[in-house]
């Protein structure tokens, strides 16, 4: 069987496009603002904190945060074979999944952080490009 290398940049771009297309009903500036804040939390405090941040949003940010976090979580099984399936998008299951399957493995954690950063950077510029 042939070992195929994954194009991680393509995965990040596709995920960012999904985030932007799934948030078209929200103001582009609101999408950009939330994604920029999530990126800041990710860069300063890490993967787990970024996920907590996205689960803690309410009111105007809730729909954008939900789309963003779900698409970021959907990236996980695409990054590495053998990673268990996420049991659901609710906060309790997703946060436990991250603790048990991502945060305890430094190589996996760094890969996820890098992928989420690239995805959020692309999504932020996608939202900026969508502005009126």
| CATH number of the structural domain spanning residue 68 | 1.10.520.30
Does 3 reside within a domain?
Answer: no
Given a contact cutoff of 8 angstroms between Cβ atoms, the answer to whether 69 and 53 are in contact is no
Does 96 reside within a domain?
Answer: yes
Does 80 reside within a domain?
Answer: yes
Task: Provide the domain limits for residue 48.
Answer: 8-130
Does 67 reside within a domain?
Answer: yes
Calculate the average pLDDT of the chain: 93
Task: Tell me the angle at which helices 47-56 and 28-45 cross, rounded to the nearest 10 degrees.
Answer: 140
pLDDT band at 127 (very low <50, low <70, confident <90, very high): very high
What is the number of structural domains in the chain?
1
Q: What is the mean pLDDT of residues 89-110?
A: 94
Residue 6: name the closest of 69, 102, 77 by CA: 77
Give this prediction's pTM: 0.92
């Amino acid at each position: 069987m042939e070992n195929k290398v994954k194009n991680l940049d393509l995965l990040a771009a596709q995920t960012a496009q999904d985030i932007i297309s799934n948030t078209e009903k929200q103001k582009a500036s609101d999408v950009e603002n939330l994604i920029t804040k999530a990126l800041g939390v990710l860069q300063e405090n890490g993967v787990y904190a970024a996920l907590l941040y996205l689960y803690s949003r309410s009111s105007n940010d809730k729909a954008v945060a939900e789309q963003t976090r779900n698409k970021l979580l959907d990236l996980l099984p695409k990054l590495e074979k053998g990673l268990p399936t996420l049991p659901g998008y609710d906060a309790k299951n997703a946060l436990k999944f991250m603790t048990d399957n991502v945060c305890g493995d430094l190589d996996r954690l760094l890969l996820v952080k890098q992928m989420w950063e690239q995805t959020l950077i692309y999504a932020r510029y996608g939202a900026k490009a969508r502005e009126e």
